[in-house]
Amino acid sequence: MKTTSQKNTTGTREQIRTDEQQPQQTAPQAQPQKADTRLPIDTDARKRNRSLPTEKVLNLLQTGSPDLFNLAEVVGKWVWVTFKEQPAAEIRQTLAQLGFHWNRTRQAWQHPCGQFRVGSAADPREKYPNSHPADTRAA
């Protein structure tokens, strides 16, 4: 098809395309939103729990979730819980409620135990003493 010229209101020539020459307008593909599978938690309790000292966090794990206590590792003053596979939603909810957060780099649930720090590239296990409290306490 031919294009024709036409003067616009300012007097310059511009080309007008015919309908067949118009670029095809396609609607942008909407990405399906990932469903939020997190269970609800009490955010006020979570905030309070994040400032608990290490011993209190370990006591909460030992009395409330002995299976999680058996997986716990103390790194410096922080408590880490690691899994071989993604835990069930209820376990993730329990950890979040207790004040843990997921660290994607270290692949662990971490509790700061009131010792909030900026992340580093180095592995804290190399810098701070670490232990498994389940090895020294009866669960």
Contact residues for 139 (Cβ-Cβ < 8 A; gap 6+): 62, 66, 69, 70
pLDDT at 122: 76
CA neighbor of 54 nearest in space, from 124, 111, 109, 102 = 111
Q: In what order do the strands lie in the sheet with 72-75?
A: 101-103, 108-111, 78-81, 72-75, 130-131
pLDDT at 92 over 90: yes
Q: Determine the Cα–Cα distance for residues 134 and 139; give it in Å rounded to an integer.
A: 6
Write the pLDDT tens digit of every residue in 12-29: 565 666 555 555 666 667
| Mean pLDDT value of segment 117-135 | 81
Lowest-pLDDT choice from 3-12, 110-119, 124-133: 3-12
Alpha carbon distances (Å) from 28 to 18, 31, 95 = 24, 9, 39
- What is the value of pTM for the model shown? 0.66
The two tokens of residue 70 are 């058996």
Mean pLDDT of the chain: 82
pLDDT tens digits for 56-79? 999 999 999 999 999 999 999 999
pLDDT score of 139: 45
Q: Which residue ranges make up each domain of the chain?
A: 43-136
